[in-house]
Amino acid sequence: MRTPSVRGQVEPFHVMEVIKAATARAASHGDVILLCAGQPSTPAPAPVLAAAASAIGSSVLGYTEAVGIRPLRAAIATHYASDYGLDVDADEVVVTTGSSGAFLALFLAAFDAGDTVAMARPGYPAYRNTLQAMGCRVLELDCGPQSRYQPTVAMLEALPEPPAGLVVASPANPTGTILDPDELAAVARWCAANDCLLVSDEIYHGISYGRECASAWQTSRESVVVGSFSKYFSMTGWRLGWMLLPSWLVRPVELLLGNLAICAPAVAQAAAVAAFTPQARAELDSHVQRYAANRAILLDRLPELGVTTFAPPDGAFYAYCDIGHLTSDSRAWCAEVLAATGVALTPGVDFDTARGSQFMRLSFAGSTADVGAAVDRLAAYICSTPCG
Ligand SMILES: Cc1ncc(COP(=O)(O)O)c(C=O)c1O
């Protein structure tokens, strides 16, 4: 009998399981507060919605070029000029089906089976699972509070040999921590000097609370920058992302994109051109103000849950919390919390194969009222349980 390939036996993305359980709970109890999903609770900005309506009414919306429509690639290139002072050519930009589609094509184009690719632990699980499915060796760099959960040059220097690639995310998921510009620059220089492809996941840029977010391309155009319309731009389900690629990767990525998905969704591409307009940016910046208010509530009230150790949430919309005083099985604990309170949280095991069983991630991308109500429920639950 045929069995699934070894490649197909990837780890689950546990948050998807939590969302499934929360959906069932919502149907039976109607009281769910979702703090598990890493997505804005708002629609795309008004100019994007108008552009989408206009595209649907006036265009065939057939396949586009594999690398995306030129007006969108040009708009993304201009965004790097205005926000980062970088001179980017539209030909260096490829548009993808979410940043997830970018990682898939990039990993295939840049790495062979057996290559070693390093990433932070805790880190975004899909890098690890996708690379492993492709037969790459994933080297998890143990990143703790000393380095604000980010890889350092010292960690890379300590490796027996430079890896073929390094994936960094700043702001990161699940921690929200940011690599400061000089730290990112040092990592980028080390990678360039050691023939290691730096993949800089910058999809949470635009959502930060005081610390500067630098782009890897400000130091090294030999690196790959990954962006997305999912987070700051509030267009998660539109499935649109992009990459800035060094010239040697543009053609292989184009060939892979054409074969893997043909192109990113045409309606999303047409609409996203309007995401960079001042009107859209003002709307999006108001969401960031709400995230900042939600973050302030959490920082103020996490001690009520007994949580005193958490990664500094410099950016994105996550608080990654040590709940070792409450459980040594974060997956079971999150399931119990959902059953008792209706609050859906993500267990740390998604992000950290070593210590995730004593961590959980809270997303504060929702409404301020929901964040406050969730903390009320969690505090009441923890006070009522024996270890709380
Ligand atoms: C760090 C990071 N990278 C990539 C992604 C994938 O996002 P998308 O495919 O929606 O662009 C996510 C989603 O949560 C993420 O947190």
pLDDT per residue rounded down to tens, the chain (388 residues): 888 888 888 877 788 888 888 999 989 888 899 998 889 999 999 999 999 999 999 989 999 999 999 999 999 999 999 999 999 999 999 999 999 999 999 999 999 999 999 999 999 999 999 999 999 999 999 999 999 999 999 999 999 999 999 999 999 999 999 999 999 999 999 999 999 999 999 999 999 999 999 999 999 999 999 999 999 999 999 999 999 999 999 999 999 999 999 999 999 999 999 999 999 999 999 999 999 999 999 999 988 888 887 777 999 999 999 999 899 999 999 999 999 999 999 999 999 989 999 999 999 999 999 999 999 999 999 888 765 5
Strand order of the sheet with strand 346-347? Answer: 318-322, 359-363, 346-347
CA 57 to centroid of ligand 1, rounded, Å: 30
236 lines ligand 1 (CB under 6 A): yes
Cα three-residue angle 268-365-151, rounded to 5 degrees = 90
Distance of CA 330 to the CA centre of its chain: 21
CA 126 to centroid of ligand 1, rounded, Å: 8
Pocket test for ligand 1, best of 224, 230, 240, 320 (most atoms within 8 A of CB): 230
CA distances from 113 to 110, 218, 305, 359, 386 (A): 10, 30, 44, 32, 49
- CA-based torsion, 161, 166, 171, 175: positive or negative: negative
CA 229 to centroid of ligand 1, rounded, Å: 10
How far apart (Å, rounded) are the C-alpha atoms in residues 264 and 331? Answer: 34
Provide the CB-side half-sphere exposure for 183 (13 A, CA): 21
Predicted confidence at residue 9, as pLDDT, reads 81
CA 99 to centroid of ligand 1, rounded, Å: 6
38 lines ligand 1 (CB under 6 A): yes
348 lines ligand 1 (CB under 6 A): no
Cα three-residue angle 119-120-121, rounded to 5 degrees = 120
268 lines ligand 1 (CB under 6 A): no
CATH topology of domain 14-43+280-382: Aspartate Aminotransferase; domain 2 (3.40.640)
Cβ-in-10-Å burial (0-12, 13-18, 19+) of 13 comes to middle
| CATH for the stretch 46-277 | 3.40.640.10
Cβ-in-10-Å burial (0-12, 13-18, 19+) of 305 comes to buried
201 lines ligand 1 (CB under 6 A): yes
Domain spans of the chain, in order of start: 14-43+280-382, 46-277
- Give me the helices (H) in the chain, please: 14-29, 46-58, 70-84, 98-110, 125-133, 153-157, 181-193, 247-260, 266-272, 278-301, 330-341, 368-384
Determine which helix (DSSP H) or strand (DSSP E) holds 199, and give its type and residue range: strand 197-201
For the whole model, what pTM was predicted? 0.95
Predicted confidence at residue 198, as pLDDT, reads 98
228 lines ligand 1 (CB under 6 A): yes
Predicted confidence at residue 108, as pLDDT, reads 98
Domains 14-43+280-382 and 46-277 share a fold: yes
98 lines ligand 1 (CB under 6 A): yes
